Amino acid sequence: MVSKSDLIEIRWHGRGGQGAVTSAELLAKAAIDEGKFAQAFPAFGPERRGAPVVAFDRIDSTKPIRLRAEIREPDVVIVLDPTLLSVVKVTAGLKPGGILIINTRKDFAEIEKDFGKDWKLALVDANTIAREILGVTIVNTTMLGALLKAMPVVKMESLVEPIKERFDRIAEKNINVVKRAFAETKVKE
């Protein structure tokens, strides 16, 4: 899954207003705080709330990242909005043996029926977690917890400062969302 250079490429799929871009930025900041090299960037179509949005992360623990192009063959794909599964080919380019992380109430059998068994799967009901802790179904930090369960690209404690900087008065709730999603994410090789 990780290439010879230790480069990890992640593609986030969400809708405008769900926080995919914010999640990518928080992850990159956490990686940089750990002394890794990282970049985060979005790709927008029509910029409006609810429109499909894609964001990207590149993280390398050994050398600077010079590449600035969109990620076409990610190691990890994260889907914040399950309605995108029928609208966007989220697995396009996902490396064989890569990780597909989905916010869904479906079980592994249902997801495998639609997407096959070519990838490691991580499933979490992020909507419920976010609604119960944050009071809204904005699942960006929830999906960070799911990512860390499926692939520990950074330490959970490394996300604390970036989350505090970004969310200020609701930072503690967002930290709790990350922890609960980590605990509740189901992973299948």
Pairwise CA distance, residues 107 & 44, whole Å: 30
Instruction: Kindly tell me if the per-residue pLDDT of 1 is higher than 50.
Output: no
**Number of Cβ atoms within 10 Å of the Cβ of 169:** 6
CATH of the domain at 97: 3.40.920.10
- Domain assignment present for 184: yes
SS3 of 24, please? Answer: helix
Per the structure, the complete domain to which residue 87 belongs is given by 7-188
The two three-digit tokens of residue 111, written as one number: 């997801």
Beta pairing partners, 58: 9, 39
Sign of the four-CA dihedral 23, 26, 32, 38: positive
Q: How many domains is the chain partitioned into structurally?
A: 1
- Domain assignment present for 88: yes
Residue 172's pLDDT is 97
Rounded percentage of the chain residues whose pLDDT exceeds 70: 94
- Domain assignment present for 148: yes
User: What mean pLDDT is reported for the chain?
Assistant: 92
Predicted TM-score of the model (pTM):
0.93
Which of 117, 61, 107, 46 lies closest to 82, judged by CA? 107
Pairwise CA distance, residues 162 & 182, whole Å: 18
What is the amino acid identity at position 37?
F
Average pLDDT of the residues in 80-91: 93
Name the one residue in this structure whose structure tokens are 């950074």. Answer: 154
- Domain assignment present for 1: no
Residue 103's pLDDT is 97
- Domain assignment present for 132: yes
Residue 148's pLDDT is 98
Which residues fall within 8 angstroms of residue 8, CB to CB, at 6 or more apart?
Answer: 2, 57, 58, 59, 60, 75, 76, 151, 153
With beta carbons less than 8 A apart as the criterion, state whether 25 and 40 touch: yes
Question: What tens digit of pLDDT does each residue of 127-183 get?
Answer: 999 999 999 999 999 999 999 999 999 999 999 999 999 999 999 999 999 999 999
Radius of gyration of the chain (CA): 15
